[in-house]
């Protein structure tokens, strides 16, 4: 059944090949591409194309038509272009929406090569070790360290909605980064209200990610006080100046709600040598403990399990 006169759909100009062998439809956009390329990269499409076609199967201009239900036209455009054009895009780091689309659809349609490509690019930007974290964050100590993209809440929410399934080992740092960006902007409404996506589509976090962010912020504050900076909150028999310095330190680094970042690298230069040594030792040991517990803080499996889940999916 040729449906070219029965639907109000438009051809996608840069993904309409006159010698293409399959037409895909997402929303009201049509893509004429190559079934061989799709089948080569995707077991999903390979199996789909080997199924016997009924006599009344939908066609467009004589070519078999496949409806991609639930996928946005823009996401499908990016996904297909990444498969058909090896030079596209020149950089995957400029657009979180693009990366999110590639991760989501490559997982949905089992395109492991594309998913692997995106995960390998994101991997150094979402560290899974404390050393990788410090190298990424400490630009003064590491002048050649990678800059940190995805500085807006909306970009991070887009990635959070896909990483949990596509590359769970990258999720702990992303959630930590999301909390920091929200704290800097003093705006946590996105946790419930979501963010604006492409077009008029609104993107909402999964309920488990919402809980992770809400519970994680309080858990991190507790770890900062108990595990990383215990002596900051305990009076000592040291000089009175050090006790006054403790109060000033808390006032300077704690947020209005009392939150302290347990992974921030700080100096204690205004304390006496003995207190400074003790505080530095606490912070060094404590930060390692916090990093090991970071996935658990967000209600996720351990680093080891998250890494295994990611590797098994690659």
* Average pLDDT of the residues in 211-222: 92
- Tell me the backbone φ, ψ of residue 59, rounded to 5 degrees: -135, 160
Map tokens 């639907």 to a residue. 7
H helical segments located in 124-261:
130-137, 153-166, 171-185, 190-193, 207-223, 240-253
> Is 83:41 a contact under the CB 8 Å cutoff?
yes
pTM of the model: 0.83
Separation CA 175–CA 169 (nearest Å): 11
pLDDT at 288 over 90: yes
> Is 237:230 a contact under the CB 8 Å cutoff?
no
Characterize 99-136 residue by residue with b for buried, 16 or more Cβ atoms within 10 angstroms of its Cβ, and e for exposed: bbbbbbbbbbbebeebbeebbeebeebbbbeeebbbbb
Separation CA 220–CA 166 (nearest Å): 25
Map tokens 């310095």 to a residue. 245
Domains of the chain by residue range: 10-84, 96-216, 220-296
CATH superfamily of the domain spanning 10-84 = Potassium Channel Kv1.1; Chain A (3.30.710.10)
Q: Which of 44-48, 93-97, 101-105 has the lowest mean pLDDT?
A: 93-97
Q: Is the dihedral of CA 260, 263, 269, 275 positive or negative?
A: positive
Most confident of 4-18, 82-96, 225-239: 225-239
Please state, for a pLDDT cut of 70, what percent of the chain lies above it. 90
Map tokens 């689309």 to a residue. 101
The conformation of residue 147, written as its DSSP 8-state character, comes to P
What is the tens place of the pLDDT at every residue in 125-179?
899 999 999 988 876 455 444 456 677 888 899 888 888 888 899 999 999 999 9
The conformation of residue 40, written as its DSSP 8-state character, comes to H
Map tokens 């990016």 to a residue. 78
């Amino acid at each position: 059944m040729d449906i070219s006169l029965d639907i109000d759909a438009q051809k996608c100009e840069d993904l309409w090949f006159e010698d293409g062998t399959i037409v895909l439809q997402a929303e009201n956009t049509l893509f004429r591409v190559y079934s061989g390329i799709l089948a080569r990269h995707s077991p999903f499409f390979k199996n789909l194309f080997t199924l016997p076609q009924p006599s009344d199967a939908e066609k467009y201009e004589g070519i078999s038509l496949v409806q991609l239900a639930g996928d946005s036209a823009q996401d499908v455009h990016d996904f297909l272009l990444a498969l058909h054009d090896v030079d596209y895009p020149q950089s995957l780091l400029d657009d979180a929406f693009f990366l999110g689309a590639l991760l989501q659809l490559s997982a949905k349609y089992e395109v492991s090569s594309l998913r692997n490509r995106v995960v390998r690019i994101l991997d150094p930007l979402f560290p899974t070790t404390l050393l990788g974290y410090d190298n990424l964050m400490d630009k003064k100590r590491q002048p050649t360290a990678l800059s940190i993209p995805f500085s807006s809440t909306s970009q991070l929410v887009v990635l959070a909605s896909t990483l949990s399934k596509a590359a769970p080992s990258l999720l702990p740092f992303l959630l930590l980064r999301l909390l920091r960006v929200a704290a800097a902007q003093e705006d946590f409404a996105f946790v419930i209200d979501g963010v604006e996506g492409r077009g008029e589509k609104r993107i909402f976090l999964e309920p488990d990610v919402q809980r992770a962010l809400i519970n994680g912020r309080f858990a991190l504050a507790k770890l900062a006080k108990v595990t990383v900076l215990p002596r900051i909150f305990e009076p000592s028999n040291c000089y009175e100046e050090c006790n006054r310095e403790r109060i000033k330190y808390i006032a300077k680094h704690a947020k209005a709600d009392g939150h302290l970042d347990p992974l921030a690298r700080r100096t204690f230069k205004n304390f006496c040598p003995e207190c400074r040594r003790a505080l530095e030792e606490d912070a060094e040991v404590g930060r390692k403990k916090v990093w090991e517990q970071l996935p658990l803080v967000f209600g996720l499996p351990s680093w080891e399990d998250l890494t295994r889940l990611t590797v098994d999916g690659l």
